[in-house]
Every structure is written in C-alpha cells, then in structure tokens.
C-alpha cells in the first residue's frame, strides 16, 4: 500500500512539473522505476534470504549421507510422534537399529561400499517403517525409528517387519533393540525431550547388546517405565546455532603472529 501511494505521488509531481507531454512521460517513467526497482530488489533479497535460512536449517537437521534426520532433527520433530501418543493414549515405540558386521563391510569392501550400504539400508527402513514414523541416524551405523505403538505385540510386528525387510535385500542384516514406553504428558516444566531420548537410547542399547549376543539379525524388546513428557523443544545456546570461534581476520592473524614471536623469544 505504501509503495502504491509513493508511486502515485511521484508520478503526480512529475506530471505537474513537466513542461511537455514527452517530458511528462519520461519523468513519470523515471519516478516509477526509481521507486519500484529498489522495492523489487528488496523483495528478491528477502526471498533469497528466507530460502537460504530454510536451506541451512534443513541441512543442520538432516544427515548429509543418508537423508535421515540427525539427532537435532529428531528432537525438533518429535512432536509428530509424542503428540499423537499424548492424544490417543498410545505408547511410544523406540527402535534402535544397528547394522550387523558393518565394520567388516568397510574393511573388506571400502568406505564407499559402506556408504552405499548405509544409504540403501535407510531407504529400506523408511519403506518398512510405519507411517508418520521419524527415522534418524544417531551413530555411524545406528538408526532410530520413533513411532506410536498400541501394544508390545504391535511393536514386535513393526520391528520384525523392518528387520525382515533389510535382510531380504541381501546386503546386510540388522539387530533391533525395541523399547515400548507409555507417555504421560506434563503441563508444566521445561521441555525434556532430549533427556527422554537419552533414556530410551540407554534401554535400547541393552536390547541391542542382547540381540548381538544371541546371534544378530533379530529383535529384542523390552518395556520401560512411563516417560513424563514436557512438550516443547529445548532452547539452544547461540553458539550452537552460529559459531564464529574459527574466524580468521587480519586482527586475528596479527595477534597470532605476535603470540608466536613472543613464544619464540621465550623459548630462546
């Protein structure tokens, strides 16, 4: 609205002060361009900045190799599953999936082959996982599937489906530590999803250990005490979002040079 008013005002002044018809057209066109071009450039810059911010945010929450969420992305999006559990009374299913003998793949076939196995495994896990699940890579060859489950039997069926799907591909097998935990939604307090994920990971680690001990390529399940979930995403310190600690400028280089000379003098 302000741009339109400014444009009409500038055109009106140009027409009023111009002596001839041609001059009026030229003045009016110049006035319009003088206002609209900067406005257009600002709009383009704002759009580009918004796109860049969205791109950086996406990259900070996604594993660059597999396309699965990283831990930060899992934390950011956890409400998709926990919110459903809070509304429906379902329990949360936390499936920790570890690729069997992955070190052997890297050692015998090379890291490029290992990367290919990781990518194909994530695609298979995503295809076999329940709808509305969250899939995250939380370690080198460890992945998490977070989903809502109705019962131990329901969780067993979902975990077994994922295990069987990976085995059917023929490249590798996986061991799955499955944890079922009821969800109690709390109204007050600071968000605690990070602590909940850590707790569920510890439980699932024990199940993974048992699966490995008993021969791998299997699912080991357990139930955990109810988690008291306080909705929200934990605040991040500014340094976690933007870190300039590694910047190198002229002043930094000069100060480093002075420090190096002083150290050399002291050594002598």
Tell me which residues are annotated as active site: 141
Quote the CA–CA distance of 220 and 170 in Å, as a whole number: 21
3-state SS of the chain is CHHHHHHHHHHHHHHHHCCCHHHHHHHHHHHHHHHHHHHHHHHHHHHHHHHHHHHHHHHHHECCCCCCECHHHHHHHCHHHHHHHHHHCCEEEEEEEEECCHHHHHHHHCHHHHHHHHHHHHHHHHHHCCCCCEEEECCCCEEEEEEEECCHHHHHHHHHHHHHHHHHHCCCCEEEEEEEECEEECCCCCCCHHHHHHHHHHHHHHHHHHHHHCCCCCEEEEECCCEEECCCCCCCCHHHHCCCCCCCCHHHHHHHHHHHHHHHHHHC
Q: Would strands 134-137 and 142-149 be described as parallel, antiparallel, or unpaired?
A: antiparallel
Beta carbons of 165 and 125 less than 8 angstroms apart: yes
Phi-psi region of 93 (alpha: psi -120 to 50; beta: other; left: phi over 0): beta
Beta carbons of 117 and 154 less than 8 angstroms apart: no
């Amino acid at each position: 609205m302000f741009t339109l008013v400014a444009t009409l005002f500038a055109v009106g002044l140009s027409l009023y002060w111009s002596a001839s018809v041609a001059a009026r057209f030229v003045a009016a066109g110049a006035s319009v361009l003088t206002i609209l071009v900067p406005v257009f450039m600002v709009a383009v810059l704002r759009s580009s900045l918004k796109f860049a911010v969205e791109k950086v945010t996406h990259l900070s929450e996604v594993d660059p190799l597999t396309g699965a969420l990283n831990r930060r992305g899992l934390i950011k999006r956890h409400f998709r599953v926990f919110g459903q559990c809070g509304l429906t009374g379902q329990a949360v299913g936390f499936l920790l999936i570890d690729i069997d003998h992955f070190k052997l793949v890297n050692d015998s076939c090379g890291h490029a082959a290992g990367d290919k196995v990781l990518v194909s495994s994530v695609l298979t896990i995503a295809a076999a996982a329940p709808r509305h699940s969250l899939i995250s890579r939380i370690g080198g060859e460890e992945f998490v599937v977070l989903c809502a489950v109705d019962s131990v039997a329901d969780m067993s069926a979902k975990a077994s489906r994922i295990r069987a799907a990976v085995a059917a591909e023929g490249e590798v097998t996986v061991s799955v530590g499955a944890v079922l935990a009821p969800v109690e939604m709390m109204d007050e307090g600071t968000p605690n999803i990070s602590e909940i994920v850590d707790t569920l990971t510890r439980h699932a680690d024990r199940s993974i250990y048992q699966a490995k001990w008993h021969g791998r390529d299997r699912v080991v399940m357990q139930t955990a005490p109810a988690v008291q979930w306080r909705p929200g995403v934990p605040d991040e310190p500014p340094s976690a979002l933007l870190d300039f600690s590694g910047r190198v400028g002229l002043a930094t280089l000069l100060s480093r040079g002075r420090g190096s000379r002083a150290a050399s003098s002291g050594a002598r």
